[in-house]
Structure 1
Amino acid sequence: MSRAKIDIVPEQAPHTDDLLSPQHFLEVINNLGTLLAAVYDRRSGLTRNQTRIVIELLQRDGQTQTELAHALSIHKVSVGIYVAELEALGLVERRTHPTDGRAKCIFLTPLLHANKHVGQEHYAAIHGTAIEGIARKDYLTMLDCLKRMRDNVSKLDAIDREKTGA
């Protein structure tokens, strides 16, 4: 029987005064992401995972359930549930795969395309509020820093995957 690897993190106060600590960074990033998602979800009327599926299909329409599951790192059965919910709302439809009659491809419907501007307007309004009072130069610096962090962590992820064979 194999055991999952568990890393023990030193106990820290929930709100550390050290602004450069990893805990503070993760808390700020996580709290902002959670809040942005909650506000958007409330305004759109969709759940977080329904929104993720719609966004993925906006980028590459016609994916199979398996492709969506891989792209979003969600279990295939869960994707099926979210797709069924979106289908019931008239936002997506399943069509037979062009070369594999057993598979279905998920496509956005004309209803979703006709109303996607509403979601885009929600994003724009939330973004506008989020960056209110931040100088353009500071905003662009922040984006550059976040991109650098993403690139750094992506390199680390690749190294980890190579070591574990994932």
Structure 2
Amino acid sequence: MPMSSAADSRSASPHSMSLGAVLTDTARMMRVRFDQRARHLGLTRAQWSVIATLARNEGIKQAALADLLEIEPITLCRQIDRMEEGGWIERRADPTDRRARLPHLTPKAHAVLEQGRALATGIYAEALAGLPSDAEAKLVEMLAHMRANLSDRRAEPAEKTAAEKIAAKA
């Protein structure tokens, strides 16, 4: 039976929830907490995602940045247009492709990036409170392993049909 609210999921036994439900709820709660504490930065969650991702990939082509953000290139283009108008991002000529202009963070974005990272660090500490000191490193290692498992393999059918099973035995 699905959980009806965040309060229900907090009181549920960890064994009664699936891995997906716990990951989804935890990620959502961390995003909400970040949004609550980051309002004063003057950025939407989508803008913050662009800044954080671009900080790790400065000067990347917009199509590749859109792939990293898992959004359509046209959506990103509009977002970058607005962020450029707001002074968060500047586009610079691509030295290898005269048609392309690559997004770069401005000093304004770099300043807010440090504030956002500090907020995130506080939220991580809050989320990990009461766990052993090595819990974060272990959790990151396990989740990175899971991500690698999923990204390294092509999607496979969940289960073969009965006819496929019989054919495979023949």
TM-score interval, smaller chain: 0.7 to 0.9
In terms of Rg, which structure is larger? 2
Structure 2 CA distance for partners of 1:147 and 1:66, relative to 1, 3 Å: closer
Alpha-carbon distance, 1:65 to partner: 1.6
The number of residues matched between the two structures is 146
CA contact (8 A) 2:52 2:113 kept: no
Change (3 A) 1:143 1:63: closer
1: CA distance, partners of 2:108 / 2:14: 46
Structure 1 residue 137 displacement after superposition: 4.1
Give the deviation of 1:140 after TM superposition: 4.2
3-state SS of 1:123 partner: helix
Match of 2:19 in 1: 25
Deviation for aligned residue 1:39: 2.0
CA-CA distance at 1:76 after TM superposition: 0.5
**Aligned match of 1:103 in 100, 103, 110?**
100
Matched, 1:60 2:54: no
Query: Identity of aligned pairs, percent?
Result: 27
> Unmatched 5+ residue regions in structure 1?
1-12, 162-166
Q: CA deviation at 1:67?
A: 1.9
Query: Partners in 2 of 1:91 and 1:40 — Cα distance?
Result: 19
Q: 1:41: how far off?
A: 2.8
1:3-18 map, 5 Å: 13-15=1-3
Deviation digits for residues 3-51 of structure 1 (CA, Å, limit 9, x no counterpart): xxxxxxxxxx103978556x62211111111111122233144223222
Matched, 1:160 2:142: no
Summarize the Cα distance change of 1:146–1:67 in structure 2 as closer, same or farther, 3 Å threshold. closer
Cα RMSD (Å): 2.5
Check conservation: 2:128, 2:135, Cα contact below 8 A.
Answer: no
CA distance in 2, matches of 1:88, 1:61: 18
SS in 1 for 2:139: helix
- 1:113 corresponds to which letter in structure 2? H
Change (3 A) 1:31 1:136: same
Q: Does 2:72 correspond to 1:75?
A: yes
Structure 1 stretches of 4+ moved >3 Å: 15-21, 137-145
CA spacing shift, 1:148–1:103, aligned 2, 3 Å: closer
1:94, 1:104 within 8 Å by CA — same for their partners in 2?
Answer: yes
CA distance in 1, matches of 2:90, 2:15: 47
- Asked if 1 retains the 8 angstrom alpha-carbon contact of 2:88 and 2:105, the reply is yes
Aligned to 2:29: 35
Q: Give SS of 1:107's match.
A: strand
User: Structure 2 stretches of 5 or more lacking a match?
Assistant: 4-8, 157-170
Q: 1:142 aligns with which of 124, 132, 139?
A: 139
